[in-house]
Amino acid sequence: PHCANTPPRRYRRLIKWLEAEGDSEPKMKSELIHATVSLAKALALSVRNFGEDAPEATAEDKAKLQQAKEFLSKGLEAAAAEKNDQLTVEALRVMLQVSIQEHNVPEGKKALEQLVALKPEDEEGRNLSARLNRMEATMALKAGANVLETVQKELQEATAAGDKPVVMEKLVKILEMMTNAEVKYQDVIKCKVGKDVGNAMKLGDPDLAQQGRKVVGAIQQLAQKADLGLQ
């Protein structure tokens, strides 16, 4: 929307004016760094992608976030040169926010590490850290759901071929994923994993039947956790 671009435009004009005035004065240097970081923040806020589980940003939004990171890099470099911890903290908070919007966990952790080193008790930093951790967990579960689908397909193929060693391998893998909380109950139900486990147990092998029962037990435990709102 037109109004969403107003703050970035205002900061761009301010930066131009400050650069034209020259930055020989310490106060002018600080003003320029602050305006640069504020421009990055305005660009980040113009991207409506705030939640940890928000969809991936559009190409236009990605370009804005990339611009924001470029301004933040400039701001961080200038703040470090001026030994201005306050502006460095401000820039790192925005960098952490942008990392969350980009779903970039490694970059977010790097910014968080620097922020904690400068200001261990920073409340905003703690809130952003919690969001980063939630996002990482959400991304891990999404990846786990994709892996589950692949392993399930391989289980189906091995069961159809009567390949008992591979069937056992896939049942062990599925149990491991459930035990390590790498998948959610809703993913297990959506994929109808129980049906394929049941088919594997019908192959007439006592070891496969025993492993299958373990998987069924794990599915029941996931169901109980889901009922209690623990997933």
Section 130-150 average pLDDT:
88
Section 158-165 average pLDDT:
96
CA separation (Å) from 50 to 121, 204, 208? Answer: 23, 52, 46
How many residues are given for the chain?
Answer: 231
- Give the pLDDT band (50/70/90) at residue 51: low
| H helix intervals, the chain | 6-21, 26-45, 59-81, 85-101, 105-118, 123-161, 164-179, 185-191, 193-201, 206-227
- Give the pLDDT band (50/70/90) at residue 52: low
pTM for this prediction: 0.68
Q: Which two tokens stand for residue 137?
A: 């967990």
pLDDT(143) > 90: no
Distance between CA atoms of 132 and 169, rounded to whole angstroms?
Answer: 34
Section 126-131 average pLDDT:
91
Section 207-214 average pLDDT:
96
Do 103 and 135 form a contact (C-beta atoms < 8 A)?
yes
- Give the pLDDT band (50/70/90) at residue 38: very high
Tell me the average pLDDT of the chain. Answer: 89
> What's residue 118's pLDDT?
94
> What's residue 225's pLDDT?
86
Place of tokens 């459930």: 178
pLDDT(53) > 80: no
User: Whose CA is closest to 167, among 152, 189, 147?
Assistant: 152
> What's residue 231's pLDDT?
57
> What's residue 23's pLDDT?
62
In the chain, the percentage of residues whose pLDDT exceeds 70 is 93
- Give the pLDDT band (50/70/90) at residue 2: very low
Half-sphere exposure at residue 60, Cβ-oriented, CA atoms within 13 angstroms: 5
Do 108 and 99 form a contact (C-beta atoms < 8 A)?
yes
Lowest mean pLDDT, pick from 22-31, 56-65, 146-155: 22-31
Which distant-in-sequence residues (6+ apart) come within 8 Å of 16 by Cβ?
Answer: none
Distance between CA atoms of 231 and 225, rounded to whole angstroms?
Answer: 6
> Strand, coil or helix: what is 23?
coil
pLDDT(71) > 90: yes
In sign, the C-alpha dihedral spanning 211, 214, 218, 219 is: positive
